[in-house]
Structure 1
Amino acid sequence: MELHGKTIIVTGASSGIGAAAARLFAAEGANLVLGARRNTELDELAAEIVQGGVGAAVHLSGDVKDEAYALALVELAIERYGALDGAFNNAGIVGDMLPATDMPLAIWNEVIAVNLTSAFLAAKVQIPIMKKQGFGSIVFTSSFVGFSNGGLAGMGAYAATKAGQIGLMRSLASEHAADGIRINALLPGGTITPAGGQGNAAVLDFVASLHPMKRMAEAREIAQAALFLLSDRSSFVTGSPMLADGGISVRLV
């Protein structure tokens, strides 16, 4: 029970890595506040967790680009559970894969807002309560695409946001380490999710071939890495861009 009694916000929780993380965290005893745009999926996931009888879950649908929504998730955590021990700020989009010279500004702005501005907004409202408590752990879902030489053609906007998350994370980690707040980024490799090509065998085979392990991750495997960063097992880990990428970043260096 790595997260027994701990209250964790999970965004992007309606599918993929977020949903896998929510199920895993609940099995480890967490009290969850689930966030995503799709209320029906959140409602079903929360009901599944509650019926499982181990963790607890409430949910609130909304747009992570909205500061008021980020604050509402924190307020819901405090109202229902009395504390905020951690946050898995996982929501994100890939956006259209286009050369930068062909990318409309609207697409660029949307990817920046969903992936990077939302991370800033989440941290902005999560850190004050954690600072007041004297403890907390924040994890951003970044990507190998924003790290080292992991850039891929057609993913300029996505790569920029994921590199930006790492920079933001490192700055925040330095600012708040003495406050008892640990802040890290999780960098998955290709993962079998709806956004990662699930259901498209050709895409999955191609992405798997890029990895030295010659396979993609299951969403639960990435959730396990997030669990480590949110649990007390990582009590001396902060400011880390933690790779869980099947070795793809090594191959691309």
Structure 2
Amino acid sequence: MARLAGKIAVITGAARGMGEAHARLFVREGASVVLTDLNGQAGSDLAGELGDRAIFVPHDVSSSKDWDNVLITAEARFGPVNVLVNNAGVIGPVKSLLDFEEEEFLQVCAVNQLGVFLGMKAVVPGMVAAGGGSIVNISSIAGMLGTRASSNAAYCASKFAVRGMSKLIAAQWGHAGIRVNSVHPGYILTPMMVAATDETGGGASDAIPLGRMAQPEEVSNVVLFLASDESSFVSGAEHVVDGGMTAG
């Protein structure tokens, strides 16, 4: 039985990396999926490959007008959205605090923090009207503790913010049947991570107790669980997918 049958999901940053893996798994498990991204060609190609239960919408997550368009398009094609995966994110320049410019800080937070806020604000009214839904916010292990893996102050700050907002909205809107959880990946073999760390799984793996970087699908399996009715009593929680990096 398809684990997401009847679900209508929006997945941001879905053109590649973890977002692409989430989208592929969601469609395979029966969901209708709206893929959003700034990478129009890759997003359109992926939606075409996934078939009739997937559409692509160009989307700047830091724009409330773009969020309005995403929701209007989703409802016109599939119906009310009952799953949101706030996956879009950027690492930003790998610089020390003293070298990091204010503009660079705000650019990272616009995507990682404001984008998540706007996404939740956009979908909550429809979820309330429908009697509930699931929001999955992708944070990072940099949202759990301040380690060098967090790359820079903006990334760390924005990922802690995602964690905090997830808890708050879970507490405020649980009465309406809305569940909100955050997912905290460690080192995942995605194009963004490889570019940021100049790694393909070698040196970075030394810091991981399981001895390797994760495949994107290993995060998607957790996201799938949180989006599905299998996690019907799971809300306001952090779900760390890091191979044991934050264990000690």
Match of 2:237 in 1: 240
Which 5+ residue runs of structure 1 have no aligned equivalent? none
Q: Distance in 2 between matches of 1:49 and 1:196?
A: 25
Contact (CA 8 Å) 2:19, 2:87: kept in 1 or not? Answer: yes
Deviation at 1:197, TM superposition (A): 0.4
**CA deviation profile, 1:75-130 (whole Å, cap 9, x unmatched):** 21211112211011100000001111110111101001010000001011111110
Match of 2:157 in 1: 160
Match of 1:206 in 2: 203
The structure-2 alpha-carbon separation of the partners of 1:128 and 1:246, relative to structure 1 and needing over 3 Å to count, comes to same
Q: Which segment is superposed worse, 193-202 or 98-107? A: 193-202
Letter in 2 for 1:65: S
Contact (CA 8 Å) 2:189, 2:200: kept in 1 or not? Answer: no
Match of 1:15 in 2: 16
Match of 1:105 among 102, 105, 111: 102
Deviant stretches of 4+, over 2 Å: 148-154, 198-204
Q: Distance in 2 between matches of 1:186 and 1:202?
A: 22
Deviation at 1:241, TM superposition (A): 1.1
Contact (CA 8 Å) 2:83, 2:227: kept in 1 or not? Answer: yes
Q: Distance in 1 between matches of 2:234 and 2:35?
A: 25
Q: Distance in 2 between matches of 1:224 and 1:119?
A: 21
Letter in 2 for 1:19: E
Contact (CA 8 Å) 2:12, 2:19: kept in 1 or not? Answer: yes
Q: Secondary structure of the residue that 2:54 maps to in structure 1? A: strand
Contact (CA 8 Å) 1:99, 1:153: kept in 2 or not? Answer: no
Match of 1:225 among 222, 227, 230: 222
**CA deviation profile, 1:11-66 (whole Å, cap 9, x unmatched):** 0001000001100000001100010001111111011110xxxx711110121110
Q: Distance in 1 between matches of 2:214 and 2:195?
A: 11
Deviation at 1:244, TM superposition (A): 1.1
Normalising by structure 1, report the TM-score. Answer: 0.93
Contact (CA 8 Å) 1:111, 1:158: kept in 2 or not? Answer: yes
Match of 1:127 among 124, 129, 132: 124
The yes-or-no answer on 1:141 pairing with 2:142 is: no
Deviation at 1:153, TM superposition (A): 6.5
Deviation at 1:148, TM superposition (A): 3.3
Q: Secondary structure of the residue that 1:217 maps to in structure 2? A: coil
| Aligned positions, number | 247
Q: Distance in 1 between matches of 2:147 and 2:230?
A: 28
Letter in 2 for 1:205: G
CA RMSD of aligned residues (A): 1.6
Q: Distance in 1 between matches of 2:75 and 2:30?
A: 17
Q: Distance in 1 between matches of 2:196 and 2:118?
A: 33
Normalising by structure 2, report the TM-score. Answer: 0.95
Give percent identity, aligned residues only: 33
